[in-house]
Amino acid sequence: MVRHLLMRLRAPLIAFGGETIDNYGVIRDFPALSMVTGLLANALGWDRGDDVKHNRLQERLVMGARLEADGERLVDFQTAQLQANDKGWTTRGMPEERAGGAGSYAGPHLRYRHYHADMDVLIALRLQPADETPTLDDLAFALDKPARPLFLGRKNCLPTVRLLAGWIEADSILDALQKAEPIAADPVRAQWPDGEGQLPGDRLVDVCDERNWTSGVHGGWRPVREGLIKNAGNTP
């Protein structure tokens, strides 16, 4: 069996971002591989320009998620009249300034931002290879003592519980999700990489959730399985 790290994602609002179209910021049911990569990189104190580090961490990351509580979906309509000298708050400690021509300030900015409300997600993950830096222990330390404030998808989605949820020995990601102590009535929905276990009645789907951290865009597809986990509950 292999050691896996457990993470708890719980907040009043969470945004597992999907394919954004124009000013509509939609969400997925499960956290994207790129989102968890960015969350861990932010905890480690990496700069967004550290694209080689981000790409490598994403390549090594093997993860799955279990929905303890689906919560509810809501849409936040946002409108703001921004001027050329307005600045925005950032987690890196430096104000973000506006850019663009004079015409970009003529009208208000309109956004539709989708969120999960009162969602609770358990993530099981490991790194391949395990002995390369950063290690799982490095990630665990960074989650408890992050270099910068952490958020779950968007800057206003602040976690309300400790992100590090413990450790578990398991043969696969699915095995880890099944063994982790449940806090909700089963069955619960789960997603894990293809090749990391199977369940009766699960379904194989392709997701586009990997980011090219050099170009800054998402691309490619990876196969994952989605199914219902029943009778989970061996204490990790």
pLDDT tens-digit map of 76-111: 777 777 666 666 656 566 666 655 556 566 667 667
Q: Mean pLDDT throughout 9-27?
A: 72
Could you give the CA distance from residue 94 to residue 75 in angstroms, rounded to a whole number?
Answer: 29
Q: Flag whether 108 is in a domain.
A: no
pLDDT at 214: 92
Q: Flag whether 90 is in a domain.
A: no
Residue 39 has pLDDT above 60, yes or no: yes
Residue 25 has pLDDT above 60, yes or no: no
Could you give the CA distance from residue 51 to residue 53 in angstroms, rounded to a whole number?
Answer: 5
pLDDT at 235: 38
Please state whether the peptide bond connecting residue 129 to the residue before it is cis, i.e. omega within 30 degrees of 0: yes
Q: Flag whether 99 is in a domain.
A: no
Q: Flag whether 110 is in a domain.
A: no
pLDDT at 216: 83
Q: Flag whether 83 is in a domain.
A: no
41-66: per-residue pLDDT in tens?
999 999 988 999 999 999 999 999 99
Cβ contacts of residue 20 below 8 Å, gap of 6+? 26
Q: Flag whether 103 is in a domain.
A: no
The pTM for the full model equals 0.83
Q: Flag whether 104 is in a domain.
A: no
pLDDT at 31: 93
Q: Mean pLDDT throughout 108-130?
A: 86
Full domain range(s) for residue 44: 2-17+28-70+121-229
Residue 118 CB neighbour total at 10 angstroms: 13
pLDDT at 29: 86
Mean pLDDT of the chain: 85
Q: What is the CATH number of the domain that holds 195?
A: 3.30.70.2660
Residue with tokens 């222990």: 137
Q: Mean pLDDT throughout 67-73?
A: 84
156-194: per-residue pLDDT in tens?
878 999 999 999 999 999 999 999 987 666 789 999 999
Q: Flag whether 77 is in a domain.
A: no
* CA nearest neighbour of 194 among 206, 184, 186: 206
Structure tokens at 205: 């789907």
Residue 1 has pLDDT above 70, yes or no: yes
Q: Mean pLDDT throughout 4-18?
A: 88
Count of domains observed in the chain: 1
Share of the chain above pLDDT 70, in %: 80
User: Residue 236's pLDDT band (boundaries 50, 70, 90)?
Assistant: very low
Three-class DSSP labels, 176-210: HHHHCCCCCCCCEEEEEECCCCCCCCCEEEEECCC
* Cross-strand partners of 211: 218
User: Residue 118's pLDDT band (boundaries 50, 70, 90)?
Assistant: confident
pLDDT at 21: 56
